[in-house]
A and B are shown apart, each in its own frame.
Chain A
Amino acid sequence: MIDKFVRSTAEALDGVPDGATVLLAGFGDVGMATALLEGLIEQGAKDLVLVCNSGGRDGSAVARLLTLGRVRKLICSFVRAASDAGRLLLAGRLEVEVVPQGTLAERMRAAGAGIPAFYTPTGADTVLAEGREVREIAGRPCLLEYPLAGDVALIDAWQADRWGNLTYRETQRNFNPVMAMAAKLTVAQTRHVVDLGALAPEHVMTPGIFVNRVLHVSG
Chain B
Amino acid sequence: MADGFTPLDRDGMAARAAHDIPEGWVVNLGIGIPTEVGNFIPADREVIIHSENGVIGAGPAPAPDRINPFLVNAGTQPITLRTGGSYVHHADSFAIARGGHLDLTVLGAFEVSENGDLANWARAAHEPVKQIGGAMDLAIGAKRLWVIMEHTTKEGAPRLRRTCTYPLTAKGAVKRVYTNLAVLDVTPQGFVVRDIIPGLSFESLAARTDAPLARA
Which A residues are within 8 Å of any B CB, using their own CB?
27-31, 77-81, 86, 89-90, 96, 98-103, 105-106, 108-109, 120-123, 125-128, 168-178, 205
Contacts and interface: CB of A to CB of B under 8 A. Distances in A.
A154 B137 CA distance: 25
B192 interface: no
Given A102-B97, A170-B68, A77 B134 contact: yes
26 contacts: A31-B70, A79-B131, A80-B129, A80-B131, A81-B129, A89-B129, A90-B128, A100-B134, A102-B98, A103-B137, A105-B90, A121-B140, A122-B136, A122-B140, A122-B141, A123-B136, A126-B136, A127-B126, A168-B87, A170-B71, A171-B54, A171-B72, A173-B54, A173-B87, A175-B89, A178-B91
B131 A78 contact: yes
B97 A174 contact: no
Interface stretch (B8-16, B33-41, B166-174, B207-215): B166-174
B54 A100 contact: no
Contacts, number: 126
A120 B76 contact: no
A99 B130 CA distance: 9
A205 B87 CA distance: 11
B14 to A, nearest CB: 23
A126 B166 CA distance: 11
A178 B137 CA distance: 17
A218 to B, nearest CB: 15
A81 B91 CA distance: 26
Contacts of A30: 53, 69-70, 72, 76
B70 A126 contact: no
B184 interface: no
Contact of A78 (B55, B93, B132): B132
A105 B53 contact: no
Given A79-B130, A100-B132, A170-B81, A105 B88 contact: no
B206 interface: no
B129 A171 contact: no
Contacts of A178: 89-91
Contact of A171 (B71, B98, B136): B71
Contacts of A174: 53-54, 89-90
B94 interface: yes
A157 to B, nearest CB: 12
A62 B18 CA distance: 37
B74 to A, nearest CB: 8
